[in-house]
A and B are shown apart, each in its own frame.
Chain A
């Protein structure tokens, strides 16, 4: 009986999360290009809030961490601290070429690599910067992953 209630609760939570994932944005060394595109995605022009995607004010309220930029030596500990403050289950989306592997800052003396050198990344959104459509696609892929559906690893190749 208790299991039944817990299962129902878990289902309700997943349902809520799918319909309104709250995101937290952190820039760990980006040039701000990706941040501007992310803002364009959230603000009325693309307006993902109509799908329930909303910026959370605190890591403790967030489901998804959207991280932009390479991880710099100075921001590494801050990035880890923000991630540790997020409640489980938590998801990470790496946004832009630099977050994927360092981008133009690769091997620079003050950067340590992409986001996945430090955090488990669920969705990679490439681009320099990625367009809002690409970011929305990334969110859709992440939601598919949350639902437990198979997630494609890229576009199907033309025959």
Chain B
């Protein structure tokens, strides 16, 4: 890693496994309970910024939530596995307030419960979108094309 501030030892202690999928990339698998400590370590060390929070559904029983941090050419991804039928992650808003938009999107598109997130209600989906339908899940039962047409 180019930026020497990366708190490698702290992150290694918190993560289950570490991989380098490409040059300038580092992937860490974490348990949800270790997420806040890892993010706090990055923020304290002033390493990078939160670039995106991504939901990943590859059709398995476990979803993944990806927290992508970037610093110059480098990309650090914190990967949180969480069970599909009871997906939960803690909120980052106590450390990074602007993560609220990513977390609301994650909740709306994947049905992942974000514990401690104060904001309620839909963000991107249409006003008449049926509740409990999460369009980016592989098995989402999408509403019909003309259902509810005026």
**Chain A residues proximal to chain B, CB less than 8 Å:** 72-74, 76-77, 80, 109-110, 112-113, 117
- Contact at A73–B129, with CB atoms within 8 Å? yes
Min C-beta distance of B54 to chain A, whole Å:
17
**Contact string against A for B residues 86-127, beta-carbon threshold 8 Å, 1 for contact and 0 otherwise:** 000000000000000000000000000000000000000111
CB of B135 closer than 8 Å to a CB of A: yes
Partner of B126, one of A73, A80, A113, A117: A73
Chain A residues with CB under 8 Å of B150's CB are 76-77, 80
The chain A residue sitting closest to B142, CB to CB, is A109
- Contact at B145–A74, with CB atoms within 8 Å? no
Min C-beta distance of B57 to chain A, whole Å:
14
Q: A74-B127, A110-B135, A112-B145 are in contact. List 7 more A-B contacts (CB 8 A).
A: A72-B126, A73-B128, A74-B126, A80-B150, A109-B142, A110-B126, A112-B146
A-B contact pairs, 22 of them (CB 8 A): A72-B126, A73-B126, A73-B128, A73-B129, A74-B126, A74-B127, A76-B149, A76-B150, A77-B150, A80-B150, A109-B135, A109-B136, A109-B140, A109-B142, A110-B125, A110-B126, A110-B135, A112-B145, A112-B146, A113-B145, A117-B145, A117-B146
Min C-beta distance of B93 to chain A, whole Å:
26
**Chain B residues proximal to chain A, CB less than 8 Å:** 125-129, 135-136, 140, 142, 145-146, 149-150
Min C-beta distance of B34 to chain A, whole Å:
33
Chain A residues with CB under 8 Å of B136's CB are 109
Min C-beta distance of B136 to chain A, whole Å:
8
Q: How far is the CA of A110 from the CA of B140 in the complex (A)?
A: 13
The chain B residue sitting closest to A108, CB to CB, is B135
Q: Interface centre among B126, B136, B149, by most A CB within 10 Å? A: B126
Chain B residues with CB under 8 Å of A117's CB are 145-146
